[in-house]
């Protein structure tokens, strides 16, 4: 029987590091952030729809989505963010659900879907277990600064998600990503042998 885990956490909390640690153990992982990037590549229907809704200003000179321009719009305006999510989320969900179905059909022992807005979108009902990757607010701010984000930018993005404490309370397991990558990997090994 396949066990499917939904993995979530706040922005800058270590979801990607956790996914990398799982992949290093040959555990099947599908990442909704990666899917989100794929579905807005040039020529994709989602990009065409985003341009129709938000205007050409969200398309760079190279024909790709200008993620910075889009972020400025949607993290400053809740209604705009909801329009973006209405375009992207159904497409993203269809892809990760198809991947989960394929894992089950293959008889894989374990699969993990990384979904930043797992609880916010009600996706937890599709998983056998949920994990929340978390760290202290100070470490989170440090990681966001390392991405080049201002305090204001980080705060806007955090405001678009549940507080990490709420995610932690809702999850079946919490993985603390404050320490080294080895410590993170060991915590994951205890949850997903």
The pLDDT of residue 75 is 87
The pLDDT of residue 157 is 78
Query: Beta strand 28-31 with 110-114: parallel, antiparallel or unpaired?
Result: parallel
Residue 129: give the domain boundaries: 3-191
> Which CATH number belongs to the domain containing residue 146 in this structure?
3.40.50.300
d(C-alpha 76, C-alpha 20), whole Å: 31
Output the CA torsion 63→65→66→68 (10° steps). Answer: -170
pLDDT band at 19 (very low <50, low <70, confident <90, very high): very high
Number of domains the chain contains: 1
pLDDT band at 114 (very low <50, low <70, confident <90, very high): very high
The pLDDT of residue 154 is 78
């Amino acid at each position: 029987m396949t066990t499917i885990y939904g993995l979530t956490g706040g922005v800058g909390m270590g979801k990607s590091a956790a996914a990398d640690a799982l992949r290093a153990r040959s555990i099947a992982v599908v990442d909704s952030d990666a899917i989100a990037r794929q579905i807005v590549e040039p020529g994709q229907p989602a990009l065409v729809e985003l341009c129709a809704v938000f205007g050409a200003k969200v398309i760079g000179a190279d024909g790709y989505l200008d993620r910075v321009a889009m972020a400025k719009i949607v993290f400053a305006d809740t209604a705009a963010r909801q329009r973006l999510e209405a375009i992207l989320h159904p497409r993203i969900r269809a892809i990760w659900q198809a991947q989960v179905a394929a894992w089950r059909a293959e008889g894989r022992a374990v699969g993990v879907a990384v979904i930043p807005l797992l609880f916010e979108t009600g996706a937890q009902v599709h998983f056998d277990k949920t994990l929340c990757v978390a760290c202290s607010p100070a470490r989170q701010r440090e990681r966001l600064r390392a991405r080049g984000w201002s305090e204001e930018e980080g705060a806007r993005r955090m405001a678009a998600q549940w507080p990490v404490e709420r995610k932690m309370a809702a999850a079946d397991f919490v993985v603390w990503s404050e320490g080294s990558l080895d410590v993170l990997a060991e915590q994951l090994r205890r949850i997903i042998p």
